[in-house]
Amino acid sequence: MSTSLRLGVAEFRARPGRALLPGVALVVGVACLLAALVLSDALTRSVDEGAPLTPSSVSHVVDIKPAEYGTAEADRPVLDAAVLARLSSVARAVPVQVAQADLLDAGGRAGEHRAEVHVQQPDLVRWPLAGGKAPASDGEVAVDKITAYERGLKPGDRVRLAAADGKPVEVTVSGVMKKGGLDARPVLVAGPDLAKKLDPQPFTKEIWVLGGSRDAVTAAAGASYAVWDPAPDADSIGNELTFILLPFSVLALATAVFVAAATFRAVYAQRQRQTALLRCIGAQRGPLVRRSLFEAFVTGALAGVAGALLGGPTAWLLARTFDVTGISALFGAVQLSPELLPSLGYVVLGVVVAAVLSVIAAVRPALNAARVSPLAALRDADSEVPPRSVRRLRLVFGVLFTGGAALLAMAAIAAKGTSAAPLAVTFSAIAAVTGLFWILGPVTVPLIARLFGRIGGTQWKLAGAEVRRMPQRSASVALPLLLASSMVTFFLVVLGGAEELTFQYANEERPDATVVDAGDRPLPEIPAQPGVAASVVLHRTGDTAASVDPEQFRTWLKAQNVTGAEQLAAGTAIVPPHWEDRAFVEAGGVQYKVVGTVPGSITGYTPIVAGPTSGPAAKVLVALRPGVDPAQFRSSLQAALPNNPTVIVRTDADERAEAARYMHLGTVLMMVLLGLSVAVAVTGIGTALTISVQERRKELALRRALGVTRGGLQGGVVAEAVMLALVGVVGGGVLGFAYAEVAFLSIGLPLTLPGPRVVLPLVTGAAIVVLLAVAAAFGPSRGASRIRPAAGLASG
């Protein structure tokens, strides 16, 4: 063991750069892992510090028993005034309520999403504040931090809300909550008086009882209600981002292990002559393996320390990226401030993980290096040409895996719509990567590189020759980048296909425009607008149906190019497709015969009856003339209703914009997270080029002696980096696109070509990868340009 340690220490002393080179990828991988943990900690703190607290003066909490939620809604108990009165006979009882209101924008109009208003008694403060004070009067509210951030609000500012009758009410922002509304949906805190003006029928979540014995409270509440003691602390709810970031960080670590293993293999091959000489003088394989593993352990430990120190800045960059792209708001957080310096526990975790993974990555290369024959000291290892038997065995297994992948893909398509189809696609993709780029990688990677070598000049041809000279190393370097590229392409194409399906759904027989009140208030009389082909008013009739004038409705359907209601007349009804098996529907105590169906997107998934139109107007469906801009229609209609700020217009373009927004956020999130693996994979290009330059010192010196300039040597190394990057990006892109199409076919969807929303991110990502590869080649190319001809030729 002491001999192994001395050999390992000697290697670090003699060539510290070469010994530490395999740890470069692990540095990035550990940085990604700790960035995920540190950023998750910051999000957890941000969300949990805004969680509601139960005041210490609350003795008991009354809620509906969980078993009662399984009963029919009509039979389910509620926390109403009668329960509150019974509890008030025991002690002070306070309902914990949530109201709904409309927060008006700078233009005085309500938004698509209503604000959630939590009712808070002045002496029972429940929601923690980041600034300002709790609302103390009916003219004050506290706003959530996301709303404050997006609207630039601070304590003392004035905002407008819509009262229950739709009239604007101006209030003062008394404070900013530590809580953030999910997906930028406003959350407010208001006192009971203001909440009653905004929503006369708030929802009661639970009832607090201050004082009284538990037995007395239980008896007063009744058998359908549970009584429990309040928790002293807020619930911990900020764990969402951990489950999203951590899998991608683990994927980045796995990529780092691939890169480190390839680098170890190259490093050990570089010192093959030294190993063979040690074998000649009697060194056993065991000490040589232990030496290599000791070096790997030290390399991993040092990489873990460096990665831990980079974890905080990486988390900070991710946080700023999420803020800029709007991803943070999805989780109810913004302006996260992760710790730049990791805790001791995270440093230890980084060191342990990196050291263990480094040893794992070095095991197989170390065993292969220890098997070198003493006669290998007399040979030059200028290329990686395996024996014929190895090549034959590799070809057999590669063909078997590739053929199995094709069979599984066909089986997935044949089993479309079943639970076995996704599994078949997954295993087919694994088999394809294993066969084409792992087993047959030394064949396929040089083949792809040869294609790129034909489109360039001398530098490209020399770069292609270097890829063919070391096919195993080139394949090992390209594989992690290829995997990351294939996953990025797969998810983007799938998201793009889902977006197109969403757009098709949004465009399928929907009203050109729908006029509603944001708070379901009765609509005022809608003034006539230019560009309207036809419109129909839907009136409330009971809880589950809407009534229309049949002639007016048929006219509107004709203008909207929708069929299915030709027989609608007084006393009849049309229904959405999922109600088509019903012969009659009931509305307002009257039965109506079903005479047709129309898409649920037309009716709002409720029956339409040709009945009385004297009830309150709930909705106006509008068919626009060809060429009329829906946004212009909305602007002109809202301008014609200045005293009705809560009347909003939903258009088909809004549906598309909402779908596009979520798809865009998903695309950005996927590219950022998978970009962690791409960053790790690109480090493999840098380490491979560093080793390549060291191996080719004599060749590079000869080029300089023959008149090649320093810039020419640098260009050759950069060309090699770009070629390896393109092999990974193009090979992975083709594989990812192919399996995205197989996935579509396996669930019964037609093949789709990626549109601009998919192609542009892919092209942008590919360009970024190439630029990163060029950056990774900067150090090796500078090293190549500094080789002096005389010294290089003498180093052979």
Two structure tokens written together for 240: 């969402």
Same domain, 94 and 32: no
Q: What is the DSSP letter of 370?
A: H
At residue 789, the pLDDT reads 74
Q: What is the DSSP letter of 74?
A: G
At residue 162, the pLDDT reads 93
Same domain, 96 and 210: yes
Two structure tokens written together for 5: 């340690």
Q: What is the CA radius of gyration of the chain?
A: 34
Helices (H), 200-239: 214-221
What is the spatial distance between Cα 442 and Cα 755, in angstroms, rounded to a whole number?
34
The residue with tokens 């990351």 is 484
Same domain, 96 and 215: yes
The residue with tokens 């700020």 is 645
Same domain, 245 and 137: no
Helical (H) or strand (E) element with 60: strand 60-64
Helical (H) or strand (E) element with 17: helix 16-20
Of 381, 408, 430, which marks where a domain is finished?
Answer: 381
Same domain, 64 and 38: no
Of 365, 381, 397, which marks where a domain is finished?
Answer: 381
- Neighbour-count burial for 683-700, b at 16+ CB within 10 Å, e otherwise: bbbbbbbbbbbbbbbebb
Domain that holds residue 562: 513-651
Domain tally for the chain? 3
Residue 401's identity, in one-letter code, is F
Same domain, 288 and 211: no
Q: What is the separation of C-alpha 666 from the centre of its chain, rounded to a whole number of angstroms?
A: 5
Residue 91 lies in a domain: yes
Q: What's the distance, Cα to Cα, between the start and end of the chain in Å?
A: 33
Two structure tokens written together for 411: 């089986």
Phi, then psi, of 65 in degrees rounded to 5? -60, 140
Contact of 779 with 24, CB cutoff 8 Å: no
At residue 546, the pLDDT reads 86
Residue among 687, 680, 795 nearest 267 (CA): 687
The residue with tokens 């909207």 is 560
Hey, is 255 helix, strand or coil?
helix
At residue 331, the pLDDT reads 77
Same domain, 544 and 631: yes
Using CA atoms, how far residue 75 sits from 40, 70, 224, 623, 719, in Å, is 42, 10, 11, 41, 74
Give the chain's residues under pLDDT 50.
Answer: 381, 506
Same domain, 29 and 94: no
Residue 330 lies in a domain: yes
Those residues whose C-beta lies under 8 Å from the C-beta of residue 453, and which sit 6 or more positions away, are: 460, 461, 463, 464, 465, 723
Residue among 558, 614, 682, 756 nearest 259 (CA): 682
Residue 781 lies in a domain: no
What is the spatial distance between Cα 241 and Cα 238, in angstroms, rounded to a whole number?
8
Residue among 305, 294, 288 nearest 359 (CA): 294
Same domain, 278 and 139: no
Helical (H) or strand (E) element with 544: none
Of 228, 253, 279, which marks where a domain is finished?
Answer: 228
Same domain, 370 and 315: yes
Strand runs (DSSP E) across 434-490, as ranges? Answer: none
Residue 309's identity, in one-letter code, is L
Contact of 177 with 127, CB cutoff 8 Å: yes
Q: What is the separation of C-alpha 150 from the centre of its chain, rounded to a whole number of angstroms?
A: 21
Residue 355 lies in a domain: yes
At residue 87, the pLDDT reads 93
Same domain, 270 and 370: yes
Burial category of 153 from C-beta neighbours within 10 Å (exposed 0-12, middle 13-18, buried 19 and up): middle
Burial category of 165 from C-beta neighbours within 10 Å (exposed 0-12, middle 13-18, buried 19 and up): exposed
- Here the contacts of 528-533 (C-beta below 8 Å, separation 24 or greater) are 529/633, 529/636, 529/637, 529/640, 530/636, 531/624, 531/625, 531/628, 531/632, 531/633, 532/622, 532/623, 532/624, 532/625, 532/628, 532/633, 533/559, 533/623, 533/624, 533/625
The residue with tokens 């192919």 is 738
- Residue pLDDT, tens place only, 599-627: 877 777 788 888 777 778 889 999 999 98
Same domain, 97 and 148: yes
Phi, then psi, of 518 in degrees rounded to 5? -60, -30
Contact of 172 with 139, CB cutoff 8 Å: yes
β 140-143/168-177 pair status: parallel
Residue 319 lies in a domain: yes
Two structure tokens written together for 265: 């293999």
Residue 746 lies in a domain: no
What is the spatial distance between Cα 648 and Cα 162, in angstroms, rounded to a whole number?
13
What is the spatial distance between Cα 368 and Cα 376, in angstroms, rounded to a whole number?
13
Two structure tokens written together for 700: 């590079």
Two structure tokens written together for 255: 């990529």
Those residues whose C-beta lies under 8 Å from the C-beta of residue 21, and which sit 6 or more positions away, are: 263, 267, 687, 690, 691
Hey, is 110 helix, strand or coil?
strand
Q: What is the separation of C-alpha 747 from the centre of its chain, rounded to a whole number of angstroms?
A: 22
Residue among 256, 259, 129, 264 nearest 187 (CA): 129
At residue 500, the pLDDT reads 65
Using CA atoms, how far residue 766 sits from 28, 734, 746, in Å, is 20, 13, 28
What is the spatial distance between Cα 373 and Cα 367, in angstroms, rounded to a whole number?
13
Those residues whose C-beta lies under 8 Å from the C-beta of residue 128, and which sit 6 or more positions away, are: 49, 50, 51, 53, 177, 178, 179
Residue 493 lies in a domain: no
How many residues are listed for the chain in this entry?
A: 796
What is the spatial distance between Cα 251 and Cα 634, in angstroms, rounded to a whole number?
47
**DSSP string of 252-312, one letter each residue:** HHHHHHHHHHHHHHHHHHHTHHHHHHHHHTT--HHHHHHHHHHHHHHHHHHHHHHHHHHHH
Residue 793 lies in a domain: no
Two structure tokens written together for 381: 């290892």
- Residue pLDDT, tens place only, 39-63: 888 888 887 788 888 898 999 999 9
